[in-house]
Copies of this chain bind each other. A is one copy, B any other.
Amino acid sequence: MRIIIVGASGVIGKKLVAAFGKDHEVVTAGSKSGDFQVDIHSPASIEAFYKQVGSFDAVVATAGGAHFGPLTSMTDADFRVGLDSKLMGQVNLVLIGQHYINDKGSFTLTSGSVSAMPIRLGGALTPVNRAIEGFVAGAAIELERGVRINAVSPTLVEDSPQYVPFFPGVEPVSMDAVVRGYQRAVLGPQTGLTIEVW
């Protein structure tokens, strides 16, 4: 299987490169590093990327950011950071990628546990993550040629200790558990699911 990992240099991405690389051909992509560069904020960049990358069976997206800060001072512009980056970046990887992916291929997007368990300062995070999961549920019933789509929703991961103070009482999950979530999505039969890793 030829698997594209977008966000391959990230905390989760690099573990996925190592894990999927054992049995599959991995293509790494990132904004500045990897086999291919792609700016997920730009549909034109995504289209150019797919034209260039050649045949593929899976796209795993672990890229995109969002605004983290107090609701009391949050603005329209703050809120839209996550819509433009984490949400539309991943959505456009699918909307455009559906025309390039091999039959029976799969898309795996990344949401996060803040979707189900809001945290302080996360007023712009919960909606973005829920939107990603909603897109997965909605797109699954319309993708053609047996193409699947799922989301992985990790909670606080052990390799991001800087976020511990924002998740009181939450036990970080191992990177191995996170990798297994993506393996279920890419290698399993399901579609339309959010795979919770917590």
Interface residues of A (CB under 8 A from B): 43, 70-72, 74-76, 79-80, 83, 87-88, 91-92, 95, 98, 114-115, 118, 120-135, 137-144, 192
Are B144 and A123 within 8 A (Cβ)? no
A contact face: mostly helix, strand, loop, or mixed: helix
Q: How far is the CA of A133 from the CA of B71 in the complex (A)?
A: 16
Identify the closest chain B residue to A74 (Cβ): B95
Establish whether residues B126 and A137, one from each chain, have CB atoms under 8 Å apart when the complex forms: yes
For the complex with contacts A71-B139, A91-B127, A120-B142, 10 further pairs of A-B residues with Cβ separation under 8 Å are: A71-B98, A71-B138, A76-B88, A76-B91, A76-B92, A83-B83, A115-B134, A127-B132, A129-B134, A130-B133
Cβ-closest 10 pairs across A and B:
A130-B134, A126-B138, A71-B142, A127-B134, A127-B131, A130-B130, A131-B131, A126-B134, A118-B138, A127-B135
Contact of A123 among B118, B124, B127, B139 (CB under 8 A): B139
Q: Which residues of B contact A79 (CB under 8 A)?
A: 88, 91, 95
Which B residues are in CB contact (< 8 Å) with A95?
Answer: 71, 74-76, 79
In chain B, what residue has the closest Cβ to A71? B142
Smallest CB separation, A61 vs chain B (Å): 15
Q: What is the bound-complex CA distance between A5 and B71, given in angstroms?
A: 23
Contact residues in B for A124 (Cβ distance below 8 Å): 138
On whether the beta carbons of B71 and A143 are closer than 8 Å, the reply is yes
In the complex, what distance in Å separates the CA atom of A8 from the CA atom of B171? Answer: 46
Complex: chain B residue closest to A73, CB-CB: B95
- Give the CA-CA distance A121 to B121 in the complex, in Å: 34
Chain B residues whose CB sits within 8 angstroms of the CB of A91 once the complex forms:
76, 79, 127
Residues of B within 8 A of A115 (CB): 134
Are the CB atoms of B137 and A118 closer together than 8 Å? yes
